[in-house]
Amino acid sequence: MNIGAAAEASGVSAKMIRYYEEIGLMKAARRANGYRDYGTREIHELRFIGRARSLGFSMEEIAALVSLWRDSGRPSREVRRIAAEHLAQLEIRAAEIQSMTQALRGMVRACHGDDRPDCPILDDLSQSARRKAALKSAQ
Amino acid sequence: MNIGAAAEASGVSAKMIRYYEEIGLMKAARRANGYRDYGTREIHELRFIGRARSLGFSMEEIAALVSLWRDSGRPSREVRRIAAEHLAQLEIRAAEIQSMTQALRGMVRACHGDDRPDCPILDDLSQSARRKAALKSAQ
DNA sequence: GCTACACCTTCCCATGATGGGAAGGTCAAT
DNA sequence: ATTGACCTTCCCATCATGGGAAGGTGTAGC
């Protein structure tokens, strides 16, 4: 199977397949004409990588996961450790986004958003410390 | 004020201050010796930029916000539009992270994480379609 | 066989925001 | 005059992804 068909079959773009090979994540057999050749095993691997990417794992983490996956005697502890670590990172990012979202939602709600120039959003951005203090003391 | 002091006063690194100048976000006066010179106005601007960054606005969005901020006759509608658009993007990212988090939490929970090689995480990654179907039909 | 066209190869470049670090100029205190 | 802290510009790296050029290959139709 050529790289285009492998991309189609795995849902991973040809560009990315070459990149994964370049960083040592997988190797592809070559035909006499220099074309890469993929079989069901490789497609399976590409799908594995694609799913791990869709869960937000980094290439470094995926390299570790793939290597554990290939090793039939691996301890599941290792796999779990990587996944739990990534989950913790995701939770941190979620918390960051939530704090941004909350602040921004308050600003957007407070802004009338019409022709007039006065704007709580710009006020917040230019002197949020003062405004926050004012809000706190008003509570 | 030299760039180091400006960095200290604004909470934006000297590297980033130079970068913001390079992309046209702000301009700094130069002294005879070539050093950049910052006053309270610039510090104020840097703080504005820093706060916008901490809310996740892109440099492009911040450029627009700064230009509206400088324009005392701007319509608040414009500011609100940018903020609301960014908020929507944040909510999309939050939803993506949440869906990853949920999937991953289920896998981590299912994996015993000991010396044994059998591992639901790897099973999910290698054939998640089948497993998801199985889960669904089991509900 | 020739022509098109679709596909493959490698190589270089760009992204966005940030930092590291080198090579060299400036300034202030000793 | 020396030292050390600061400044300048320039280049490089990140991370995963895509765009695109230049050139080779394979196949289908004439």
Contacts of B40 (CB under 8 A, 6+ apart): none
Q: Is the pLDDT of residue A132 over 60?
A: no
Those of residues 63-82 in A touching chain B at CB distance below 8 A are 65, 68-69, 72-77, 79-81
A–B CB contacts, 8 A cutoff, strictly below: 154
Q: What is the pLDDT of residue B122?
A: 96
Across chain B, what does the average pLDDT equal?
92
Task: With a cut of 80, say whether residue A49 has pLDDT above it.
Answer: yes
Pairwise CA distance, residues B78 & A119, whole Å: 10
Closest in A80, A97, A105 to B121, CB measured: A80
Strand C: which positions are within 7 A of a protein CB? Answer: 7-10, 16-20, 26-27
Residue A114's pLDDT is 92
Q: What's the whole-number mean pLDDT along residues A91-116?
A: 95
To the nearest whole angstrom, how far is the Cα of B33 from the nearest Cα of chain A?
Answer: 31
User: What is the C-alpha radius of gyration for chain A, rounded to an integer number of angstroms?
Assistant: 24
Res B64: pLDDT: 96
Across residues A40-52, what is the average pLDDT?
Answer: 96
Mean of pLDDT over chain A: 92
Residues A54-61: what's their mean pLDDT? 96
The owner of tokens 């189609």 is A8
- The reported pLDDT for the residue numbered A139 is 44
Alpha-carbon distances of B132 from A10, B91, B113, rounded to whole Å: 18, 26, 21
- Share above pLDDT 70 across residues of chain A, in percent, rounded to a whole number: 91
